[in-house]
Amino acid sequence: MITRTPPLLEVNALKKHYPLASGLFGGKKGAVYALDGVSFTLEKGETLSVVGESGCGKSTLGKTILRLVDPTDGEVFLDGERIDNLPASGLRQMRRRVQVVFQDPFSSLNPRQRVRDIIAEPITNFGLASGSELDDRVAALMDKVRLPRDAMMRFPHEFSGGQRQRIGIARALAPGSDLIICDEAVSALDVSVKAQIVNLLSDLQDELGLALLFISHDLAIVEHLTHRVAVMYLGKIVEIADRRTLFGTPHHPYTRALLSAVPVPDPTIKRQRVILKGDVPSPINPPSGCRFHTRCPFVMDRCRVEEPMLRSVPDGAAGQLSACHLDGVPSLG
């Protein structure tokens, strides 16, 4: 019998529906279909970026994996073990291995704690070290995120946004995590600082064999960091592929529209700009059939009634999956 090593993270048909407040007479008023059947795997040491416009369910995906919110349905496995239904005692162990870095480091760092204590807290909480060993570990983490050691005794407000994000990353690494979920972790930073933090994450990943689930509304920033990309639209993954394929030969019309807004470094190459008509529909009442049909330049009758499943792209790259009824990709011209 061949035993397969399970992926580090496996997400299977994960859903999170936020119920709407019930009506005057207690009648149900429906739900926000924030996450509506998302599946993917993430290997040890791999980066998967999750991209899509604001409100498509990226943060809900991260929070549901972390069990900051309970899933409505579906399964999540860490190293082959279910973690979506863990009791409180098991959650603690899971959180030692899966950490998060949010967009706004200021609000996620305790302003009254010194940097040393912020970084030491998870180590102490999980009983991983104390005394001089704890000091050594904190010092090593400061080095890893390239913060000067003398910064240890200072408070978060004394740092710039980029440095605060380094503190957040050190804290996320502190318990010896295997997976870090970065939710818009660089989105609020200036362009040059963004690049520095992306480089830091990339180096740490190489050095420590970390896996990253890198959530971003900005497709451009993930190009230099990621191994694979998943594109989300209204609570679902519409396309998933390795980086080269997704940026080079995307299949789904929504991916192509998002990409058309990404600047190309080489000025001699022009990407055809696709302007999507209309706004993103509400996740309370998502469109029938293909959820993208209200904005798709290639919409056909079938798209309004039949939901396309995520499937291998005909003649596509290995592992390229797209949820679209089109076989080929028609020209935009």
Ligand X SMILES: Nc1ncnc2c1ncn2[C@@H]1O[C@H](COP(=O)(O)OP(=O)(O)O)[C@@H](O)[C@H]1O
Within 126-241, where are the H helices? 131-144, 161-173, 191-208, 219-222
- Least Å distance between CB 201 and ligand X? 19
Query: How far apart are the C-alpha atoms of 252 and 325, rounded to whole Å?
Result: 9
Please pick, from the candidates 74, 162, 175, 283, the single residue that binds ligand X as defined by CB under 6 A: 283
Please pick, from the candidates 47, 49, 59, 255, the single residue that binds Mg ion as defined by CB under 5 A: 59
Pick what 34 binds: ligand SF4, ligand X, Mg ion, none; C-beta below 5 to 8 Å, kind-dependent.
Answer: ligand X
* Nearer Cβ to ligand SF4 (127/328): 328
With 0-12 / 13-18 / 19 or more C-beta atoms within 10 angstroms meaning exposed / middle / buried, residue 59 is buried
Considering the rule CB under 6 A, would residue 54 count as an interface residue with ligand X?
A: yes
* Nearer Cβ to ligand SF4 (18/298): 298
- Least Å distance between CB 250 and ligand SF4? 12
Kindly indicate which of the ranges 75-83, 84-92, 145-153, 292-300 contains the residues binding ligand SF4, using the contact rule CB under 6 A: 292-300
* Nearer Cβ to Mg ion (15/58): 58
Q: What letters, b where the CB count within 10 A reaches 16 and e where it falls short, cover 4-37?
A: eeebbbbbbebbbbeeeeeeeeeeeeebbbbbbb
Inter-residue contact 186 to 165 (CB < 8 Å): yes
List beta partners, residue 312.
321
Considering the rule CB under 6 A, would residue 291 count as an interface residue with ligand X?
A: no
What is the side-by-side order of every strand in the sheet holding 9-19?
A: 31-42, 9-19, 73-78, 81-82
Pick what 292 binds: Mg ion, ligand SF4, ligand X, none; C-beta below 5 to 8 Å, kind-dependent.
Answer: ligand SF4
Size of the site for ligand X (CB under 6 A): 12
Tokens of 57: 């369910």
Considering the rule CB under 6 A, would residue 290 count as an interface residue with ligand SF4?
A: yes
* Nearer Cβ to ligand X (56/246): 56
Kindly indicate which of the ranges 57-65, 97-105, 172-180, 322-330 contains the residues binding ligand X, using the contact rule CB under 6 A: 57-65
Query: How far apart are the C-alpha atoms of 85 and 273, rounded to whole Å?
Result: 44
- Least Å distance between CB 97 and ligand X? 23
Tokens of 13: 């048909």
Q: Which of the 8 DSSP states describes residue 157? A: G
23 to 52: interface string for ligand X, x by CB under 6 A: ---------x-x-----------------x
Query: How far apart are the C-alpha atoms of 71 and 13, rounded to whole Å?
Result: 10
Within 87-130, where are the H helices? 88-97, 105-108, 115-125
Query: How far apart are the C-alpha atoms of 243 and 314, rounded to whole Å?
Result: 18
- Least Å distance between CB 163 and ligand X? 25
Kindly indicate which of the ranges 37-45, 53-61, 78-86, 152-160 contains the residues binding ligand X, using the contact rule CB under 6 A: 53-61
Cα Rg, the chain, nearest whole Å = 21
Residues 6+ away with beta carbon under 8 Å from 172: 99, 100, 101, 180
Q: Which residues in 239-268 contact ligand SF4 (CB under 6 A)? A: 252-253
- Least Å distance between CB 228 and ligand SF4? 20
Considering the rule CB under 6 A, would residue 60 count as an interface residue with ligand X?
A: yes
* Nearer Cβ to ligand X (71/175): 71
Inter-residue contact 141 to 174 (CB < 8 Å): yes
Given the rule CB under 6 A, which residues bind ligand X?
18, 32, 34, 52, 54-60, 283
Given the rule CB under 5 A, which residues bind Mg ion?
58-59
Given the rule CB under 6 A, which residues bind ligand SF4?
252-253, 290, 292-293, 296, 298-300, 303, 308, 324-326
